[in-house]
Structure 1
């Protein structure tokens, strides 16, 4: 059943061990709409936002022993949206305790990763994103079907060993721009 993203926000505070995200899009409308993105397009890296509620929660969960991680699929060369996300991750996410890595789209295809974004909480609750052609998240779907959750776990486990820390890739991309 599709629900608004706000309906699953509690999962980010309630998971016990791991929250994993697969990001497959070339960009997100919510990023493009923000002032930070426009500033980034003018050549200024996004500043860290340590008091942003996301970062506060990531630090709190890390202190509790829980872990946030992501694999972002990127194009070669990366789109502006993908470059922005790498720059933003370099600014703060790692310091907060979120491990964000990137994977080339060609490798994601080779690994037969899903073509949709999702969050996977404690390897038992899958939240699949529904995103329109304008990169707007229209809804999410909470999936607890064991077959689909296992498929997401397998996708995570295939992607992670091949993904490279976002900061390393951002340093190379930034120096070549």
Structure 2
């Protein structure tokens, strides 16, 4: 199903919206307006909030949580460096972003696909093409799949590192 058809869940959820990001880059980032700005070395972390961040601010002010874990490689890919540069804006809006090395994710047996887990009840699994373009999502509330996603969330969240700490580690190795 097209992602736009289910995007209402990011206003309608009751408690938590949790994401696992597994890709090494996303076409939406490379084709977006901030990519060339980032490539040129411009700092866009203090731009006015976009629609996503405005919604995150609204929902977190109402007591809901947005959380995500990004799997990253060593060294980071270009797409992962871009997302790390954008992360402070997400965090400032209330979207808790953490990082986990891909080698650790493999050791933990985490899935190798992107998904959102909504209120620990609904799993939105992304479908991508070979160019990292989002084709849509599959939606399920099948108990075994949701349970597996909850277990992946708990393991990933436990071992993942907060954005500021991860960014400091990355800067210290450059």
TM-score (norm 2): 0.95
Task: Tell me the CA shift for residue 139 of structure 1.
Answer: 1.2
1:17 maps to which residue? 15
1:45 maps to which residue? 43
Task: Tell me the CA shift for residue 175 of structure 1.
Answer: 4.9
1:67 has 2:65 as partner? yes
Residue of structure 2 aligned with 1:146, choices 143, 154, 168: 143
Residue of structure 2 aligned with 1:166, choices 150, 163, 166: 163
Residue of structure 2 aligned with 1:29, choices 22, 27, 30: 27
> Is the 8 Å Cα contact of residues 45 and 88 (structure 1) preserved in structure 2?
no
1:95 maps to which residue? 92
Structure 2 regions of 5+ residues with no counterpart?
none
Task: Tell me the CA shift for residue 167 of structure 1.
Answer: 2.2
Distance 1:49 1:120 in 2: 28
Distance 2:46 2:4 in 1: 24
> Is the 8 Å Cα contact of residues 83 and 170 (structure 1) preserved in structure 2?
no
RMSD across aligned positions (CA): 1.2
Task: Tell me the CA shift for residue 169 of structure 1.
Answer: 1.4
TM-score (norm 1): 0.94
Change (3 A) 1:42 1:175: farther
Distance 1:28 1:76 in 2: 18
Distance 1:49 1:121 in 2: 28
**How many residues were matched structurally?**
174
1:108 maps to which residue? 105
